[in-house]
Amino acid sequence: MKVQTTVTNSLDTLKGVAVIKRDGTKTSFYSYKINLVLRELKADVDTQKIVADHLLQQLKGKDSVDTATIANIIVDALRDAGHDEMAASFLKYRKLDEEEFANATNPQYKLNKLFDRNSRVVHENANKDSKVFNTQRDLEAGAVSRAIGLRMLPQIVAKAHMRGDIHWHDLDYSPVTPETNCCLIDFDEMFKHGFKIGNAWVSSPRSIQTATAQMSQIIANVASLQYGGCTANRIDQVLEPYAKINYEKHMKDAKEWIAPDKQEEFAKAKTKKDIYDAMQALEYEINTLYSSQGQTPFTTINFGLGTSWICREIQKSILKIRIKGLGREHRTAIFPKLVFTIKRGLNLNPGDPNYDVKQLALECSTKRMYPDLLMYDKVKEITGSFKAPMGCRSFLQGWKDENGKEVNSGRMNLGVVTVNLPRIALEARGDKNLFWDIFNERMSICHTALKYRIKRTKEAKPENAPLLYMYGAFGKRLKRTDSVDEVFKNSRATVSLGYIGLYEVCTTFYGPNWEHNKEAHDFAVSIVKAMHDDCAKWEKAEGYHYSLYSTPAESLTDTFCQDDIKKFGRIENITDKEYYTNSFHYDVRKHPTPFEKLEFEEDFPKYAAGGFIHYCEYPNLRQNPKALEAVWDWAYDHVAYLGTNTSIDQCFKCGYKGEFEATSTGFKCPQCGNNDPATCDVVKRTCGYLGNPMQRPMVHGRHEEIIHRVKHMNAGMIANAAKFERDKQADNVRIQHHSHAN
């Protein structure tokens, strides 16, 4: 049912009046906000009209007005209408708003929530073990930084964040420190020219073992100088020259000690062993590192495009090591995230030169979920050039330097602000015009927030993060006196507008089973396109690349939903689930085929090119990797970035392998009931990264979302459906050819 819009309509003439906030920030006059206030106060239509008349009389002809004056006019109008209690309620609401802001900006208040072991604070990052000292220290520092950070933000942004209208990500680090978010580390530049960490100057590596050792140290340092993920792009090709040095050394030895016809065989065998050992060391080093933030560095490695025997050996070693697992129990490694590139003509089809590596990748995915896939042609189509994501899903756009050279590694993201789309829909109550009015106001706040992120990040000095700015991680080597803006400006860096909950938005307007409703789907796409268009407009005006980002929402899926339960109550299929659906994803409770799910989602990333991922849920696929390959092959021409979610849990007490049973508090072995983290290995995809909820618990909403996920068909059905989809595509091609011929 649509809300009464009497006030909104009558106050449209005040849209040109500037509203001055308490901190001096200026915004437009949004008449719908008066309507929402009066709705909260349960004012009838006559009372709404009285308030509107008072506002029109006293603000007519004014260029600007402060919020206190607007509040006083509303209070006077309510009292004149005989609604003293309503006026008192309004004043109480404003007072509570100020008290909440005072508490949120009080470091001691934030510390008290932490020391009370508030689960939303302690478990907001599934990669942090809150039981260990260094993580506890980081959480304590983060609690204080949140309070100080809210004071630093423009007040309109800080209050929107506190209310749950938007979310300023990583408030425990930014804006108190002007850190960047995530990046593609320029390992190639650093290896070739050397770098400095602390007091040590590190020269170019002379073996692949040294190169991967340096790589792990770079990753640890970069992870401590920013707050998001880091990626090694095309790692097989980056490491190839250093493995070649190993080969040349072994050939030199072979010429001295080995018969001529066996020399190359000897050198290759020794080099392959070196490659395997180096990649295994990298895997163990990353999983045993702690950054200064008290967590394992969020690390991604991309591989698959190299064609030489050395590159192929690096690719195969990465996969074999992951298949083997960590330690004597062969547990699934959480880091680094593996991202394998598939490319037509290289490894997609039988007969392609690297098709055997794809088969190994399939085996690895059925046993360890990773690698996720990058479809080469689609990545280029959507983002403008091929590159891996920064961290789990943040993508750079295609970009060339002043010499016309394409640049990807060494670039970065400056941070994310996410809008709560379900709240806008709930506030609009079925009125699409009102939805767009609220949407535009929230976009204005997000723009203010993102502009501040850029401004604050530019206040860093190169010496604050020497490895990033002075020693090559960000691709350039700045002097101490240079501006860090040299690596941000002219759209070299990205800053991201995030979003969550398209499923809940369309459920509000079209009901819970809207996925096959074209009008609903078009409406969802129109929302994403509108955000994309705003980003493009901001970039054109300011010269920084505003990208649209499909937020992973590891803890935000819980935070926004809990905020809205308090505001709107438990609404069926929206807030009663106790989580919001990530970005543009299909409702996790439903049973589409993998092909239906991906076809539904494929329209969104072309607008949200700044960050996206698709994934499908499968049963245990160890015995039928060809079923998974059927999905991969079909997906190649439809989506750019695809993850595999399958059952890989293990119980070391009874030997069970498969899907652990979800409970209200965690997971247990369905065979023996074991739920001891020491004797079981439970791995789930939290969002873009994998997580181990038995070792490091997640927030409640993310746990609820995970246990509600259903499988998208069994292996046999997948294979049959794939054949049907291929036949359907072939029929469509034949029809098109026939049509063109005629």
Please indicate whether residue 182 is annotated as part of the active site: yes
The token duo for 566 is: 């308090």
Beta bridge partners of 691: 684
Residues 51/86, Cβ–Cβ less than 8 Å: no
The whole-angstrom separation of Cα 35 and Cα 431 is: 13
pLDDT digits (tens, 9 = 90+) for 623-633: 889 999 999 99
Mean pLDDT of 471-486: 98
For residue 677, whether the previous peptide bond is cis, meaning omega lies within 30 degrees of 0, is no
Q: Is the pLDDT of residue 124 over 60?
A: no
Cα→Cα distances 138→122, 132, 467, 508, Å? 11, 10, 21, 39
The whole-angstrom separation of Cα 692 and Cα 218 is: 25
Q: Which of 127, 181, 420, 675 is catalytic?
A: 181
Beta bridge partners of 485: none
Count of C-beta atoms within a 10 Å radius of residue 93: 13
Please indicate whether residue 680 is annotated as part of the active site: no
Helical pair 309-324 and 263-288, crossing angle rounded to 10 deg:
50
Q: Which of 10, 32, 130, 182 is catalytic?
A: 182
pLDDT digits (tens, 9 = 90+) for 682-691: 999 987 789 8
In a 3-state reduction of DSSP, which class is residue 115? helix
Q: Which of 190, 364, 369, 390 is catalytic?
A: 390
In a 3-state reduction of DSSP, which class is residue 201? strand
For the CA atoms of 256, 258, 262, 264, the dihedral, rounded to the nearest 10 degrees, stands at -30
Look up residue 99 and give its amino acid.
E
Burial state string for 295-320 with b = 16 or more CB within 10 A and e = fewer than 16: bbbbbbbbbbbbeeebbbbbbbbbbe
Q: Is the pLDDT of residue 417 over 90?
A: yes
Residues 360/320, Cβ–Cβ less than 8 Å: yes
Give the lowest-confidence range in 144-158, 205-219, 246-260: 144-158
Mean pLDDT of 293-297: 73
pLDDT of residue 141: 77
Mean pLDDT of 65-79: 92
Give backbone dihedrals phi and psi of 78, rounded to 5 degrees, phi first. Answer: -65, -40
Mean pLDDT, rounded, of the chain: 90
Q: Which of 149, 306, 475, 688 is catalytic?
A: 688
Residues 130/295, Cβ–Cβ less than 8 Å: no
pLDDT digits (tens, 9 = 90+) for 718-738: 667 666 666 655 555 444 544
Count of C-beta atoms within a 10 Å radius of residue 536: 15
Cα→Cα distances 442→393, 528, 531, Å? 24, 14, 11
Distance of CA 182 to the CA centre of its chain: 10
Mean pLDDT of 257-284: 97
Please indicate whether residue 554 is annotated as part of the active site: yes
Q: Which of 554, 601, 602, 617 is catalytic?
A: 554
Mean pLDDT of 358-374: 97
- Higher pLDDT residue, 139 or 427? 427
The token duo for 577 is: 């689930």
pLDDT of residue 12: 79
The whole-angstrom separation of Cα 115 and Cα 107 is: 12
For the CA atoms of 111, 114, 116, 118, the dihedral, rounded to the nearest 10 degrees, stands at 140
The token duo for 514 is: 């809207």
Mean pLDDT of 365-393: 97
pLDDT digits (tens, 9 = 90+) for 141-181: 778 888 899 999 999 999 999 999 999 999 999 999 999 99
Beta bridge partners of 374: 341, 641
pLDDT digits (tens, 9 = 90+) for 658-674: 999 988 778 999 999 99
- Higher pLDDT residue, 427 or 135? 427
Residues 356/310, Cβ–Cβ less than 8 Å: no
Please indicate whether residue 394 is annotated as part of the active site: yes
The whole-angstrom separation of Cα 227 and Cα 229 is: 7
Closest CA to 207 of 236, 248, 235, 237: 248
Considering the entire predicted model, what is its pTM?
0.90
Q: Which of 162, 190, 392, 713 is catalytic?
A: 392
pLDDT of residue 697: 77
Q: Which of 32, 173, 549, 579 is catalytic?
A: 549
Q: Which of 31, 174, 413, 674 is catalytic?
A: 413
Q: Which of 130, 216, 394, 674 is catalytic?
A: 394
Distance of CA 576 to the CA centre of its chain: 24
The whole-angstrom separation of Cα 594 and Cα 600 is: 10
Q: Is the pLDDT of residue 127 over 60?
A: no
Question: What DSSP designation does 680 have?
Answer: E
Please indicate whether residue 413 is annotated as part of the active site: yes
